[in-house]
Amino acid sequence: MESNDDKTLLRNNPFFVIGIASLIAIIMFSISLLSYYNSDTRKTIEQIQANNLSSATDSTDDMSLPEDLNGDYIDELEKSITDRVSSHVDDVEFNSEELTDSALGL
Amino acid sequence: MMSKKNIVSMALLLVSFAITLPAAAQEQPLPDIGSYSQDALSARLTALRDLYRIKLSDKEKASVVEHCQSAQAGLRKISTKTSATKSERAETYNAVVSLLTGLRALVVAKQVDPSNIELLTVEYQQSVEQFNLAITDYQIALEDSVQVDCRAKPEEFRAALEGVRATRKQVVAASAQINEVTKSNLKTAFDTLKDRLSAEEQINGKQ
């Protein structure tokens, strides 16, 4: 009889119930964290973040904004953009000769 | 009445459920990425083979079977180079858009109409978007040509190669569009901006 009372007390003990629930929550959280850490999703997100950071840092390195806008700055900017874009040569980067049968040994 | 033993058993059951749930979720019959890719690859190659009406003679098939693996090694190198090119170009085009965005802020601060710079920025963004789509298609086509079992499927390999050549042309066309915006639209927009700045300075000088 005394034993049954103890059990009832334990079952109705909010600390015990909360403790069990917290334990389950911690275990589930740990498993989720572990799954995420080992997943490809994390690697992909980190790679994207690294690329974004790199782009933001490199993007305007050699071209600072002037305090006052004038024609000289606009000319300088035009040259900078033109040089950047023309630095990529399609014939080199996407050379059609590389894809011919002879180039591929077919 | 629930005994202490029952409560502990229930807790253990819940814990084991919590442990097995993520694993069970992973084991659900979700589409397998590998087989999905293979299905998509087969579908693309079949479509290309039909599009280019690839029909090889036995002699041609034998030639492809003999040399295709070295060709795939070459295509793999092109694929790697294309990935690097894509990153470099993305860096350049992002920088251009950043510079134009910064210029717009300066123009607004100067209380000059920024509409031509805004239009130019949108033109750049659209052209760059087209380029990104085209180069992604090119990368997929290259990957298809590398992944296909060329010795077992020589016609599909030929079709994949035609796909690579066709998508390369789209990349070059998209790149040419960006060059055209730079060569023509950029100059026009900047000349207009300089005129507006001069007019603004003249008005301020008179006042």
Q: What is the pLDDT of residues B131-176, one digit of tens each?
A: 999 999 999 999 999 999 999 999 999 999 999 999 999 999 999 9
Q: What is the pLDDT of residue B29?
A: 44
Global pTM reads 0.67
Residue A41 CA to residue B125 CA, distance in Å, equals 27
- What's the rounded mean pLDDT across residues A63-75? 77
Would you state the structure tokens that stand for residue A31, as one six-digit string? Answer: 């498993």
Which candidate, B190, B69, B3, B43, places its Cα nearest to that of A69? Answer: B190
- What's the rounded mean pLDDT across residues B13-23? 58
Mean pLDDT of chain B: 85
Higher pLDDT pick, B25 / B138:
B138
| Lowest mean pLDDT segment, chosen from A39-53, B82-96, B145-159, B189-203 | A39-53
Q: What is the pLDDT of residue B16?
A: 63
Q: Does A27 touch chain B (CB under 8 A)?
A: yes
Q: Is the pLDDT of residue B22 over 90?
A: no
Q: Is the pLDDT of residue A17 over 90?
A: no
Residue A35 to chain B, least CA–CA distance (Å):
8
Q: Is the pLDDT of residue A75 over 60?
A: yes
Residue B48 CA to residue B54 CA, distance in Å, equals 8
Residue B5 pLDDT grade (very low, low, confident, very high; cuts 50, 70, 90): low
Q: What is the pLDDT of residue B33?
A: 42
Residue B43 to chain A, least CA–CA distance (Å):
23
Question: Would the CB atoms of A20 and B198 count as touching at under 8 Å?
Answer: no
Question: Would the CB atoms of A74 and B194 count as touching at under 8 Å?
Answer: yes
Residue A64 pLDDT grade (very low, low, confident, very high; cuts 50, 70, 90): low
Q: What is the pLDDT of residue B207?
A: 59
Question: Would the CB atoms of B168 and A99 count as touching at under 8 Å?
Answer: yes
Please say whether the dihedral angle defined by the alpha carbons of residues A25, A30, A35 and A41, taken in this order, is positive or negative: positive
Q: Which of A2, A47, A94, A102 is the best mutation test for B, with the most CBs of B within 10 A?
A: A94
Question: Would the CB atoms of A28 and B18 count as touching at under 8 Å?
Answer: yes
Which residue intervals of chain A are DSSP H helices?
2-12, 14-37, 40-58, 71-86, 90-93, 101-104
Q: Which long-range contacts (CB under 8 A, 24 or more apart) does A6-13 make?
A: A6/B4, A7/B1, A7/B2, A7/B3, A7/B4, A7/B7, A8/B1, A10/B4, A10/B7, A11/B2, A11/B4, A11/B7
Q: What is the pLDDT of residue B25?
A: 47
- Window 23-62 of B, Cβ < 8 Å to A: none
Residue B147 CA to residue B53 CA, distance in Å, equals 21
Residue A99 CA to residue B138 CA, distance in Å, equals 12
Domain ranges of chain A: 1-58, 62-89
Place of tokens 């007390």: A9
**List of domains in chain B:** 32-206 (1.20.1270)
Q: What is the pLDDT of residue B31?
A: 39
| Lowest mean pLDDT segment, chosen from A68-72, B91-95, B175-179 | A68-72
Q: Are A99 and B141 in contact (CB under 8 A)?
A: no
User: How do residues B75-132 score in pLDDT, each as one tens digit?
Assistant: 999 999 999 999 999 999 999 999 999 999 989 888 888 999 999 999 999 999 999 9
DSSP A100: S
Question: Would the CB atoms of B96 and A85 count as touching at under 8 Å?
Answer: yes
**What number of C-beta contacts closer than 8 Å exist between A and B?**
139
Per the rule left: phi > 0, alpha: psi between -120 and 50, beta: everything else, B32 is beta
DSSP labels, A8-20? HHHHH-HHHHHHH
How many percent of chain B have pLDDT more than 70?
81
Q: Does B3 touch chain A (CB under 8 A)?
A: yes
Q: Is the pLDDT of residue B14 over 70?
A: no
Q: Is the pLDDT of residue A1 over 80?
A: no
Ranges A6-10, A42-46, B12-16, B50-54, most confident: B50-54
Question: Would the CB atoms of A94 and B175 count as touching at under 8 Å?
Answer: yes
Residue A31 to chain B, least CA–CA distance (Å):
7
